[in-house]
A = this chain, B = another copy of it.
Amino acid sequence: MVTTDARDRLIASAQRLFASQGVGPTSPRQVLEVSGVGQGSLYHHFPTKHDLALAAVGASVAEALAVARAELDDDSPALDRVVAYLERPRDALGGCTIGRLTSDQAVMDDDDLRDVVTAYFVRLVGSVAAALRETGLPDDAARDLAHTAVAVVQGGYVLARATGDPGAMRAAVRGFVTLLGRTTKEDA
């Protein structure tokens, strides 16, 4: 039990450090210090930085997907679910925990880590597309529009960080939701 707890603390500490400073500059030693677990535990659970990074990025992806799927897979009308995903309050200035990894060279240069990031976006777009198909959109249109929805959120983060204004992300989402609501009603 103590061992499992140490593993979880190491992963949580790596997630926090990755989010604040990126994967590249984060050393296992820093993770060890922040986590407060013993050095033996670190090397027992994660013999290499690659093992630790894979576990931490995997955990962040699993958490982010669980949140999105809770919004996208519930029982309310399909368009409401997509709007709930889009309008979820986000830490706009902090940036997307997963999206920012695409600008982290240490992640993009590591095939295993990149695969985890790829899988996140493929599954997220797939879940949004499934909800959009339920509104009556044909397959191709639903897939395109699912890419647009996820891009609006990711680009909203970029705009908010670039301008220092969380309102820039909200404006991007609001513009899209207005268009989306209008068009989907038209189709219904």
Contact = CB atoms under 8 A, between A and B. Distances in A.
Contact of A154 (B147, B154, B179, B183): B154
A113 to B, nearest CB: 11
Contact of A144 (B147, B151, B153, B175): B175
A24 B174 CA distance: 34
A14 to B, nearest CB: 18
Contact of A158 (B105, B151, B161, B171): B151
Interface stretch (A31-39, A68-76, A95-103): A95-103
Given A146-B175, A178-B141, A183-B179, A155 B151 contact: yes
Interface size grouping (class) on chain A: 35 or more
A161 to B, nearest CB: 4
B141 A175 contact: yes
Nearest to A158: B154
Given A121-B159, A150-B155, A153-B155, A22 B175 contact: no
Interface stretch (A5-13, A46-54, A162-170): A162-170
A44 interface: no
A174 B140 CA distance: 11
A118 interface: yes
Contact of A152 (B105, B143, B148, B183): B148
Interface in A75-122: 95, 98-105, 108, 114, 117-118, 120-122
Interface of A: 21-22, 95, 98-105, 108, 114, 117-118, 120-122, 125, 141, 143-156, 158-159, 161-164, 168-169, 171-176, 178-180, 182-183, 186
Given A98-B162, A154-B159, 7 more contacts: A22-B105, A101-B162, A114-B164, A146-B175, A147-B159, A155-B155, A155-B158
